[in-house]
Every structure is written in structure tokens, then in C-alpha cells.
Amino acid sequence: MAVPIAVLDCDLLLYGRGHRTLDRFKLEDVTDEYLVSTYGFPRQFICYLVDLLGATLSRPTQRSRAISPETQILAALGFYTSGSFQTRMGDAIGISQASMSRCVANVTEALVERASQFIHFPKDEATVQTLKEDFYGLAGMPGVLGVVDCTHVAIKAPNAEDLSYVNRKGLHSLNCLMVCDSRGVLLSAETHWPGSLADCTVLEQAALTSQFETELHKDGWLLGDSSFLLRTWLMTPLHIPETPAEYRYNMAHSATHNVIERTFRTIRSRFRCLDGSKGTLQYSPEKSSHIILACCVLHNISLQHGLDVWSAPATGHMEQSEEEYEQMESVDSEACRVRQELLLTHFS
């Protein structure tokens, strides 16, 4: 009697009965060194993700070989950290390339659902004060709540007619607006902006601006480079410093703002799917945005687990800025007054 095609096991068809089945791969059967080299993270971190995402990834199924949350997480980590769906990655855990792709999609959405849990500004006064003190310890810049910048991640062309994702270098990308603290922990991440938008336009339209103008700008500010306009809650460098105090301000600003550049390098180095070395993200802008945000969540979780050594610079296409911006003077007189008061109080 013919067997209905709907019940055939795709992995069995692809690999045969001799292939490793899903329930044979166990974390306890391999070393930490193997896990780090293959999936980018140690056992304790992976077990934490299984506990965090397990309920979401355990979906009812009639298949006898449903993919476990553990296997789904390993598949996704393998892609995030290598940027590849190579057969050897699937071979390592006993699933096909098609299954790998589904696992990445499932884990990505589960992480995106938890983004606000791991990426947010502190709310209580004691933590905010600690945030400012940590920044002040870097280079003597007071009142800093975070450093902000944009970075581009290359994606495949959505379609021939859509030029909104073409950046000034002629590549399709997403322009991602991020804020981090002095350790590189992300406090905000907006990963969906089309690559054609200038950094200042992204910030103007971002939820971050609304957030700071209505809630978080009291007694502190972000630091941004000269691609952004000066605001009462966003301190930028002086375009042409003339006095010793202005030079000291610019030097402290630059040394402090450098944290976000190192953070971008760390994310690019840890999550190779974003660095362009394996090609662009082969997804729609929406799915690519979710993958970037999922990597941001994992970045913060990794810092919580003590995996916080700054990575060395890596080559690739995730660049700190695509712009050769013009120096723009702010027309906000109140913002100019705030910066001038900062200069007189702390750098004169």
C-alpha cells in the first residue's frame, strides 16, 4: 500500500536511517570547547536560553521527531554566529537545511518577543545614577545616560523598484539606531530603518526621540556624533573648538562616544551573520530587522553572563556609519545654552 507523502520524514528522506536522529544530540555529551567553537557560546549560556525560550519553542505536533527547543536554539546560534546554513551545521545536530531555516525563524521571533525585557533604559534613580557615574569614570563627561549612533547591516534587495533601502554606497541595507551604556549593554535598538535614511533623519523619526523628549531627558543626556543635531538631551561635539575648554569637552566626548563604536565591533564579531563576510542577510527587510534585534538581545544576555570581553575589530559590511555628513549647527537655542553651561561648569 502506498504511504501518504504527508507523513514521510523529510530528514529521513534526505539523510537515510544511518543519520544521527534529533534525540541523540545532548548538550551533556559534548565539551564546552565544542559548543563555543560550533555555536559561539558555552553550555551555561545555552541552558539559560533553553529555560528562557523552551515553552515558546515547544509546539504541539503530530510528528514523532519534533525538533526540541534545545536543538532549535543550537541551530539558530549556529547561524547567528557563523552566518551560514552550511550542511555541516545541520549535520552536527541532525537536521536538514530547511529545518535549520525554520529553527532560526522560530528562535528569532521568540527573542524579539522578549526584546523589551533585555533592552531598556534603567528606571530607578539609583541605577540611573550608577549609569552616569560609570560614564563619568571613562573620560570625565558628566550626566551621560547613553551613547547613540547608527550602523548599517547589508540585506538582499527587496525588489528592483524599491530604492528606499539603497544607502549612499549603492548597497541595500538597514540603518540601525542603537544606544549603549559604558559596558556596551544596549539600552535601545531600532533595527528597521531603511538604509537610504540619513542618521539624523532616523533619529528624528525614532521612538527614542519621543521617549527622551517626554520622559528621560531630565538631568542627563545622550552623546551623539556630528551626524546628529544638538538637542537639550543630546550633546554633540563642537564643530570648530577654539578655547581650551572646548577642546577638553570634545576630547571627553570622543573618548566616551567611542564605546558605541566598540560595541558595534563586538556585535559584528560575535554574530557573523551581520558582518557581511557570508554575504548579505537573505531575508525581507522585516525578517532581517528581526534577526538583527535578536542578535542585540543575545548580546545583552551574553553580557549578563559575563561574556563581556571587548572583541577585536573585524572586517565586514556592518559599518558604523554610511554617511559623509555635513557639519550642522543646531538652531535650538536652549540646546546651545545647555551645552555652553556644561562647558563652563565642567571643562573651563
Q: Which three cell numbers stand for residue 202?
A: 532616523
Q: Are residues 107 and 127 in the same domain?
A: no
User: Are 190 and 86 found together in one domain?
Assistant: no
**Residue pair 70/93 in contact by the 8 Å Cβ criterion:** no
Q: Is residue 290 part of a domain?
A: no
Q: Is residue 10 part of a domain?
A: no
Examine residue 94 and state whether it is found in any structural domain, yes or no: yes
125 and 105 share one domain: no
Domain match, 151 and 214 both: yes
In terms of domains, do 341 and 272 share one?
yes
pLDDT at 16 over 80: no
Q: Does residue 275 share a domain with residue 182?
A: yes
Residues 44 and 167 in one domain: no
Band of residue 275 on the pLDDT scale cut at 50, 70, 90: confident
206 plus 340 within the same structural domain: yes
- What is the residue range of 147's domain? 119-284+330-347
The structural domain count of the chain equals 2
* pLDDT mean over 171-199: 96
**Structural domain contains residue 325:** no
Would residue 153 count as lying in a domain? yes
Same domain, 153 and 31: no
Mean pLDDT of 296-324: 67
Last residue of a domain, one of 95, 113, 131: 113
Do 32 and 171 share a domain, yes or no?
no
**Residue range 332-341: average pLDDT?**
92
- Determine, yes or no, domain membership for 323: no
Contact between 299 and 266 under an 8 Å Cβ cutoff? The reply is yes
Report the range of poorest mean pLDDT among 90-99, 158-167, 188-197: 90-99
Q: Do 81 and 196 sit in the same domain of this protein?
A: no
Checking 302-311 for CB contacts under 8 A at 24+ apart, the result is 302/41, 302/45, 302/270, 303/183, 303/184, 303/185, 304/118, 305/44, 305/45, 305/48, 307/41, 307/42, 307/45, 308/183, 308/184, 310/184, 310/262, 310/265, 310/266, 311/265, 311/266, 311/269, 311/270
**What is the average per-residue pLDDT within 271-292?**
90
**Residues paired with residue 177 on neighbouring β-strands, in sequence order:** 150, 190
Is there a single domain that holds both residue 106 and residue 123? no
* Top-ranked range on mean pLDDT: pick from 28-32, 216-220, 287-291, 308-312: 287-291
Of 283, 321, 276, 289, which is closest to residue 169 (Cα–Cα)? 321
Helix (H, G, I), strand (E, B) or coil at 154: strand
CA distance 89 to 95: 9
At residue 332 the predicted structure's pLDDT band, cuts being 50, 70 and 90, is confident
Residue with cell 532549535: 72
- What pLDDT score does 11 carry? 40
- The answer to the question of residue 337 being in a domain is yes
Helix (H, G, I), strand (E, B) or coil at 279: coil
Q: Is the pLDDT of residue 22 over 90?
A: no
Lowest mean pLDDT of 41-45, 69-73, 171-175, 213-217, name the range: 213-217
Given a contact cutoff of 8 angstroms between Cβ atoms, the answer to whether 74 and 289 are in contact is no
| Position 213 in a domain | yes
pLDDT of residue 86: 60
